[in-house]
Chain A
Amino acid sequence: MSEERNTNDAQWELEEEHWSEFYPDEVDEMLEELRLERADEDDKPQHEEIMELANEHAWMFIRGSRSGTVVTDLPSGSITREGQVPPIPTRDAALDGRRSILLYHAGGTRFAQGRELLTRLHAKNGASLGLGVSVSIPRHSAKKIADVFDCSVAALRIADPEAFWFDQEVLQLASTDPETYTHQQTGIAAARRAARLKEFAPYLHRLSDNYFIDEVVEAQRAAGANLILTSGRALSTSHPTRSIENLIQEGDHVHSLLSTNERMALNITLPLDFITNESLCDALLAELLEREQFDVWHVRGQWRNNEDGAVLKDPTALKFYKNLSNLAEEEGRVLLLPQSGLTGWYFLAHGARGFGTGTSMAQQAFLQHRPFARQPGIPNVQRIFERALLHPVEFTFHLSLRDQPKYVACDCRWCEAIDATQVYNRTTSGWHTLYNHGALTASARGSDSTGGRRAAVRKILRRAQAFRNDQNLLGKNDPKHLSNWSELL
């Protein structure tokens, strides 16, 4: 590694340290351009691999910068992999229940890698896995959205209006008011962020006027979404009945705006106080049952930001998600759990149809904002997702685990890169996590004769618990959520 590269990395870490104090997801986004300008190992020219596309005289690139591209002539110089790429399902086929759905939430990292990763997941698991891409209208530029939506294997394209950014009174979000910050730079960044939200999503200026919903829908159409969401305003614990009524009215309004080939989802954002209040949850679930016109639910819950990281283990909140998932399954509705990562994967066992995840914690969980100060110079702990434990562990510990009996080795190409160098790379580790979430989703499908998703997830959980019991796991390396999850299955 060159000296220049080291200098760049140091600068990068410094910038990220600074930004990540208040807005981790934004950090990724704001620093993306910096990333793009820097060469890293992922940008090196790669050899290309192709695979035949089922039912068509065509091939699809599954590795390299043209991943996902379909060609009708065998390209020269590429490696042809054995097997066939399954047909890409339509949006409605992806939602029909035969496949579990993985939604990739766009973050700051370049999507070229994401496109390749999703293509590889589809090539390997497309018969049991439906894929989607999800972008944020207020946080992502039009260029970014177009880039992420350029993904041939994604059956679902979601442009989330994320109107919850203006529900500061019910959600715990980083303040958008620069006056509330004592640190000047942080305040400036907050002001910039607030301005950018409204620049990218002009409908946020019109939250209370009659055309708000129309513009929310129009913005999604303009972005190229094929599943239209309601605005995503958060439900209120102070006025729960009114906020649920507003949600339903908004849903009916969006429904009335749909054209023949469009499909919608009720986009629900829940504060932690709502999720952990049984009577509020009962009221919401009763309303969801009642309103049969809404057959797709896109439910994002805000979780407590604590040492559990990106997984949920609060028993009360887990119970809500279980009831929600059971209801969706029993009533034949499609439940998508955006920004839920591995927790969302777990709820496939209870009846959720899909979940959203990504390469960073901000994409794997919608956590309450917790301002904290980090001492300069203290590096991030290097963690990598360990499939054998269903949990991220310290990288050095990961290296020691690989020789253990019953270890589940990862066969992703990003792991190959890590294994080859034995050096931690956060970006590569992020793609490895995402790939594993996808592989787990495909594994969670099960079959009707063996108990379906529930049995498949239970089997994976048991194996992880057994492996955990054989190890000496301490602190954050210990997947404490496994026992809570197993109890509910």
Chain B
Amino acid sequence: MSSPEPRLPRHLVIPLLGSEAELLGVGTYGDTWRSGDRAVKILCGAPTDPRRVTREVEALQRVDNPHVVRLYGLRRLSISSNDYQALEFEFVPGGDISERITAKDWPTVEQATSLLIALLQGLQALHESGSIHRDLKPANIALRSRSWALPVILDLGLAKQLDASTVTIYPGLLGTPAYMAPEQLRGQPAHKASDLFAVGVVIHQLLLGRHPLYDPSESYELPDMLRLIESGIPPISLEYPEALRRVVTRLTSVQAYRRGSTRSNLQILGLG
């Protein structure tokens, strides 16, 4: 796969971020660059309401959890006589879960359990700040030092409310829609429980060695996706520990209320 091109030209961005700056990714709202030990997301994509950005930043700066990427703050970059807002995050080395899935590098049950606990703890901190991620997926979960036990939730706070009518999964690309909760697919507002659904699907996929619902070689339109989800995500193997099975089953429930809160799921896993 070829590297994406940034929206803003490299020769204009690199002088502002440092000569060693490198492009990490291009998302809906902007381009993310690495600059030393920081990741800088320049909001040059879909229009954002500056007040909403400020509000989100204030909320996310209150989050202090090792499993949520640290947001240092908001800065302004002047590029080609245009002002852009830019979010400065901690850069987490070690790659993300999507890279491990591509490499078919699966965790053990113990590693998956540690990952699940850490993700729930991270989400708990995020939700307590009043934020909902809305776009959790393997590509948004970094593994610090390549450790399954040290996940870090990335790309916070500005996930777009997707237009359900355009949701499609394309062959070879299990992106955002493949981890979306049924209520999001229906175009309803995302809840905390929507983030929990995504975590459940990710863990299920890592334990199963494939996505529990979608075949990556197929394409799926919205009605197919809803039908698959509503028919129920198959339970994980009985050979796994009961608490793990119970939590994954809860998290991947069609009904949002059956997924429970981060707190109750952590309790089932023996924490809290």
Q: Which residues of A line the B interface, CB within 8 A?
A: 282, 285-286, 288-290, 292, 323, 327, 330-332
Contact = CB atoms under 8 A, between A and B. Distances in A.
30 contacts: A282-B255, A282-B257, A285-B255, A285-B256, A286-B183, A286-B191, A286-B193, A286-B256, A286-B257, A288-B257, A289-B191, A289-B192, A289-B256, A289-B257, A289-B259, A289-B260, A289-B261, A290-B191, A290-B193, A290-B256, A292-B261, A323-B257, A327-B257, A330-B260, A330-B264, A331-B260, A331-B263, A331-B264, A332-B263, A332-B264
A330 B259 CA distance: 11
A279 to B, nearest CB: 9
Nearest to B259: A289
Interface string B243-272: 000000000000111011101100000000
The 4 closest A-B pairs by CB, nearest first: A285-B257, A286-B256, A286-B257, A289-B257
Contacts of B261: 289, 292, 331
Contacts of B257: 282, 285-286, 288-289, 323, 327
Interface string B156-184: 00000000000000000000000000010
Given A285-B256, A286-B256, 13 more contacts: A282-B255, A282-B256, A285-B255, A285-B257, A286-B183, A286-B193, A286-B255, A286-B257, A289-B191, A289-B192, A289-B260, A331-B264, A332-B263
Contacts of A282: 255-257
Contacts of B264: 330-332
Nearest to A330: B264
Nearest to A292: B261
A286 B192 CA distance: 10
A270 to B, nearest CB: 15
Sorting the interface of chain B by its residue count into under 10, 10 to 19, 20 to 34 or 35 or more gives 10 to 19
A331 B192 CA distance: 14
Interface of B: 183, 191-193, 255-257, 259-261, 263-264
Contacts of B183: 286
B264 to A, nearest CB: 5
Given A282-B255, A282-B257, A323-B257, A289 B193 contact: yes
A290 B256 CA distance: 9
A289 B264 CA distance: 11
A382 B121 CA distance: 59
Contacts of B256: 282, 285-286, 289-290
Contacts of A286: 183, 191, 193, 255-257
Nearest to A279: B255
A285 B258 CA distance: 9
B139 to A, nearest CB: 26
Contacts of B263: 331-332
Contacts of B191: 286, 289-290
Contacts of A331: 260-261, 263-264
A290 B183 CA distance: 14
B193 to A, nearest CB: 6
A388 B75 CA distance: 73
Contacts of B193: 286, 289-290
Contacts of A330: 260, 264
A34 B259 CA distance: 54
Contacts of A292: 261
